[in-house]
């Protein structure tokens, strides 16, 4: 856990965000079997001094019954990033998710052109 008085430089924040994204790549969408980063579900990663991390993301459908499961997996994954002391997941619906947000890897894995 980090000290509430910790102040990071912009370069340090960017490096930590890279570790956060790498951890999020371990969170697999249970229905599609692809991680949430390659699916394009993660819209923004915010990191504040003191270690509070806010993940702004969407789901493939508004009524997704697995929202709580995915959120819990995100919280667990970010416990592996030592600089993160607290994680908050905010579901957003704009812009709406489309398959255009998916990485090339996800498109190939799911057979989408």
**pTM for this model (two decimals):** 0.89
d(C-alpha 69, C-alpha 59), whole Å = 12
Please classify residue 110 by burial: count the beta carbons closer than 10 Å to its beta carbon, then call 0-12 exposed, 13-18 middle and 19+ buried: middle
Q: Domain 10-106 adopts which CATH fold?
A: GMP Synthetase; Chain A, domain 3 (3.30.300)
Q: Where are the domains of the chain?
A: 10-106
With CA atoms as reference, report the closest residue to 30 among 68, 80, 78, 1: 68
- Across the chain, which has 113 residues, the per-10-residue mean pLDDT values are 70 95 97 95 94 95 88 97 96 93 94 88
């Amino acid at each position: 856990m980090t000290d509430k008085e910790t102040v990071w430089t912009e370069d340090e924040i960017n490096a930590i965000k890279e570790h956060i994204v790498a951890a999020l790549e371990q969170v697999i969408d249970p229905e599609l079997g692809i991680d949430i980063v390659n699916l394009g579900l993660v819209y923004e990663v915010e990191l504040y001094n003191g270690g509070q991390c806010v993940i702004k993301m969407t789901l493939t459908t508004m009524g997704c019954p697995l929202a709580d499961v995915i959120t819990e997996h995100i919280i667990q994954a970010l416990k592996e990033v030592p600089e993160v002391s607290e994680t908050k997941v905010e579901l957003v619906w704009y812009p709406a998710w489309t398959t255009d947000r998916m990485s090339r890897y996800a498109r190939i894995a799911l057979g989408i052109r």
